[in-house]
Amino acid sequence: MAALLDRARSVFRRKPRDDGFDDVDDDRRPVSPVVGPNGIVTGRPEGRRRPHSPQRNQPRPQTSEQNQQERPNTPQRRPRPQTGDGQQPPLARTPATQSGHLEIALHNDTNSSTVYAYITGQAIDRGNALFLLSADAETPYYPASPPSTGTRLTQNISIDLGRPGNTVYARIPRLAGGRIWFSPGLVEPSVFNEADPNHNVDFGFAEFTFNNAQVFANISYVDFVGLPVAMTLEDTNRTSQHVSGMPANGLETVAQGLRSQTAKDGRRWSSLIVNGKDGRLLRVLSPNSGILLNPSWFQTYWTDYVNNVYNRYMTQRLIIDTQAAFGNATGRVDMSRNFNFGAGGSFPRPSAADIFTCSTGPFATGNNAERNTIIPRLAAAFNRSTLLISNNQPDGVGPRDYYRNPTTNHYARVVHNANLDGKGYAFPYDDVTPDGGVPQEGAVFSFSPALLTVSVGGRNAHVG
């Protein structure tokens, strides 16, 4: 099972960039459109996205680009259930990876009848063209790149989820960098730009990749906590995987947890809470989003912990299982006071921003493949504050050891505690898992997927 998960992660690996694009395998992912009321593209600055851990020593599934000549013919369309008619499509006998189309059940688990879903991504079988799903939940829409902010879309892409408890069934082609957005009326407002007219709107999302090898999907809190999202993936053998997400009051639970932490240590945790103009709780930013807006936040937060770590490993060895062909990488702090892993490279002391973002300073990836396998595991150990507990990372620690130090990523701690099953990406390398350990990232995957169900609202959130 662990080997399959590692293989699945490798297909959905991302690495952060600063040019407004998110990389998904082939470095050609376009910026997702930002669509406001009435289908107006509003634009936003891109935040940092989750960079997946490099895969372990597993064979990488072929991508759709490698198999363009082997693509199956598009199956004939069948009548689709209308919103609210209660019909569920029969479970597919042919895996979506073979048919080229994935069924997605979009479930309204809120108490509102005004909830919309939006599905975006890049169409693998159309040269990674920007993809939006039309409001009928079936017709693909491939808009040209908008010439300017405020450009109106020519097609309605707001999928009405109907009354509370209703489910709408959607169908999508193979997509990379996919997202399913939920909101009471628009998609992807900017959490970073208070001038965005959609800034005061609730929203949430799930991430996925669907190619000819598998479906890989997850919930994410790497940027912020918003509307509760849960998911279930069922395969053609009727085996299912479920990620519970947060209950309906999960956002308030996270906010209260951060208020309590600020009361204990006086740090900026409560400043991550974002209220609307009416005082209503809108979302909670992650620390890496918070410092993007306010670079002075948390500047000295990690200083003492980092110093203690580097002092410890001046006389002791740190062993990092790269979980790849490189095996164990052994490092010590050398005379230049850098962490030296030999062929795996040298790591100067990280700043708070380096630790929270997992992508800058010593954690910036490059051309050294071994170093790139050390980075996720070292960055995760800092966020979870486990480097003073064990000299073996990540295998010498487990979830019960995470976040125990008073200096830790308390946002991640509080977010995991607020999820019913404790799972969900709370920082960029939250998918680092000890061999045989319990994954923390809240992902589902299958090589023979039949139906992906994604719920929004958390009213009936459950474990199992």
Q: Are the CB atoms for 156 and 254 separated by under 8 Å? A: no
Neighbours of 423 (CB within 10 A): 22
**How high is the pLDDT of residue 94?**
87
Ranges in the chain annotated CATH 3.30.920.50: 303-406
Cα gap 317→5, rounded to integer Å: 29
Report the amino acid identity of residue 37.
Answer: P
Residues in CB range of 316: below 8 A, 6 or more apart: 332, 391
Q: What is the pLDDT of residues 277-333, one digit of tens each?
A: 889 999 999 999 999 999 999 999 999 999 999 999 999 999 999 999 999 999 999
- Looking at per-residue pLDDT, the higher value among 37 and 197 belongs to 197
Q: Are the CB atoms for 360 and 349 separated by under 8 Å? A: no
Ranges in the chain annotated CATH 2.60.110.10: 1-53+85-296+410-464
Q: What are phi and psi for residue 159, nearest 5 degrees?
A: -90, 110
Tell me the percentage of the chain whose pLDDT exceeds 70: 76
Confidence of residue 59 (pLDDT cuts 50, 70, 90): very low
Q: Are strands 318-321 and 392-393 parallel, antiparallel or unpaired?
A: parallel
Q: Are the CB atoms for 403 and 385 separated by under 8 Å? A: yes
**Range name among 26-30, 118-122, 292-296, 407-411 with the lowest pLDDT average:** 26-30
Q: What is the pLDDT of residues 192-243, one digit of tens each?
A: 555 555 556 688 999 999 999 999 999 999 999 999 999 999 999 999 999 9
- Looking at per-residue pLDDT, the higher value among 34 and 249 belongs to 249
Question: How much is the mean pLDDT over the chain?
Answer: 82
**How high is the pLDDT of residue 62?**
34
pTM: 0.81
Enumerate the β-bridge partners of residue 332.
340
**How high is the pLDDT of residue 40?**
34
Q: 410-418 and 250-265 are packed helices; what angle lies between their axes, rounded to 10 degrees? A: 150
Give 3-state DSSP helix, strand, coil % of the chain, rounded to 5. Answer: 25, 25, 55
pLDDT average, residue stretch 37-48:
33
The CATH architecture to which 1-53+85-296+410-464 belongs is Sandwich (2.60)
Confidence of residue 154 (pLDDT cuts 50, 70, 90): confident
Q: Ranked by mean pLDDT, which of 58-67, 73-82, 346-355 comes out on top? A: 346-355
Element (H or E) spanning 224, and its range?
A: strand 224-225
Q: Are the CB atoms for 372 and 365 separated by under 8 Å? A: yes
Q: Which of 174, 170, 244, 181 is nearest to 215 (CA)?
A: 174
For the domain covering 303-406, report its CATH number.
Answer: 3.30.920.50
Q: H-type helices in 207-284, by residue range?
A: 250-265
Tell me the percentage of the chain whose pLDDT exceeds 90: 71
**Range name among 16-20, 213-217, 361-365, 457-461 with the lowest pLDDT average:** 16-20
Q: Are the CB atoms for 43 and 34 separated by under 8 Å? A: yes
Provide the residue count of the chain: 464
